[in-house]
Amino acid sequence: MLKKQIDTFKRYRFLLRELVKKGIKLKYRRSYLGILWTLLEPILTTCVLTLVFSGFFHKGDKTFPVYILTGRLLYTFFSSGSKAAMKSIRAHAGMIKKVYVPKYIYPLSSVLFNFVIFAISLIVLVGALFIFKVYPNWWTLTAILPLIMLFLLTLGAGMILSTLSVFFRDLEYLWDVGLMMIMYTCAIFYDDKAMISSANGWVFKINPLFAIIKDFRAAIYGENMFASPAWVIMPAVVSVLSVVIGVLMFKKNQDKFILHI
């Protein structure tokens, strides 16, 4: 069974590449700046957030823009990737009705093209590290782990959302509200340690995206994220479980999609 799935994936990997390319082109088709906006947007957003919040949080911390940028970049990928995956089945309804293609290709390509854009935007973070003198060390290499968890969490959420949104189209509006709630529990622009120890700290502790951002920041700042194993184990487990649940839900319901799109 697994071999059959792998062979099917290999057969359609060219289509997957084309869908990823198409997604990137469509995202910037009416933009004069094009892919350059991927670099400018996080810079401008970080400047605004730094000006607004530097007086309230991390006052006097010269690396505060790096702190904001790390959270902003990771959250933006999760938000854009999950939303694109959620809409992917209905967006490709015409193709689904005409030819056979493994339907999981659509949410997967949506997450992948957003991950490519996210990877490009990390160039801004590299530049910020040197500008604000946050120099990497060996622990910085461990940043790959939270990035893997982030990709899996986004893919899992995208598979679940793409399945549900076929049957419940209002989910698209509800997810916007959900993303806003998630953003405010990710400590993008305020002190994550203070939030954990606050009276409502449990809200942050159950948010796997908060933990992933926390781990990524630790790595970027050259700290040992494994000093607090729970903050690594929890998001890793949730990320893998989200993919498993998402794949099972998608596989169980994919034959019904054509009746609702």
| Residue 253 predicted with pLDDT over 70 | yes
At which residue do the structure tokens 């400018």 appear?
Answer: 40
Residue 98 or residue 223, greater confidence:
223
| Residue 134 predicted with pLDDT over 70 | yes
Rounded Cα–Cα distance for residues 108 and 127 (Å): 30
Confidence (pLDDT) at 175: 95
Helices marked H in the chain: 2-11, 13-27, 37-53, 64-91, 93-98, 105-131, 144-167, 171-184, 192-196, 201-205, 208-220, 230-253
Confidence (pLDDT) at 171: 92
Residue 3, domain member (yes or no): no
What is the CA angle 183-110-85, rounded to 5?
Answer: 60
- The alpha carbon torsion through 155, 159, 161, 166 (nearest 10 deg) reads 150
Mean pLDDT of 33-60: 71
Residue 1, domain member (yes or no): no
Mean pLDDT of 212-218: 95
- Which range (49-63, 102-116, 172-186, 207-221) has the least confidence? 49-63
Residue 132, domain member (yes or no): yes
Q: Decide: helix, strand or coil at residue 222.
A: coil
Contact 42, 188 (CB under 8 A): no
Confidence (pLDDT) at 31: 62
Tokens of 224: 């040992």
Rounded Cα–Cα distance for residues 260 and 167 (Å): 7
- Which range (53-57, 66-70, 83-87) has the least confidence? 53-57
| Residue 35 predicted with pLDDT over 70 | no
Residue 33, domain member (yes or no): yes
Residue 2, domain member (yes or no): no
Cβ neighbours for 261, distance < 8 A, ≥ 6 positions apart: 89, 90, 93, 96, 97, 166
pLDDT band with cut points at 50, 70 and 90 for residue 59: low
Tokens of 158: 């995208």
Q: pTM score > 0.75 for this model?
A: yes
| Residue 54 predicted with pLDDT over 90 | no
Rounded Cα–Cα distance for residues 2 and 137 (Å): 40
Confidence (pLDDT) at 190: 79
Return the percentage of the chain with pLDDT > 70, whole number.
92
Mean pLDDT of 27-56: 72
Q: How many domains does the chain have?
A: 1
Residue 57 or residue 26, greater confidence:
26
* 17-31 per-position pLDDT tens digit: 888 988 888 877 766
Residue 195 or residue 57, greater confidence:
195
* 220-250 per-position pLDDT tens digit: 999 999 988 999 999 999 999 999 999 999 9
Q: Decide: helix, strand or coil at residue 200.
A: coil
* 138-194 per-position pLDDT tens digit: 999 999 999 999 999 999 999 999 999 999 988 989 999 999 999 989 888 877 777
Query: Domain range holding 69?
Result: 8-259
Confidence (pLDDT) at 174: 94
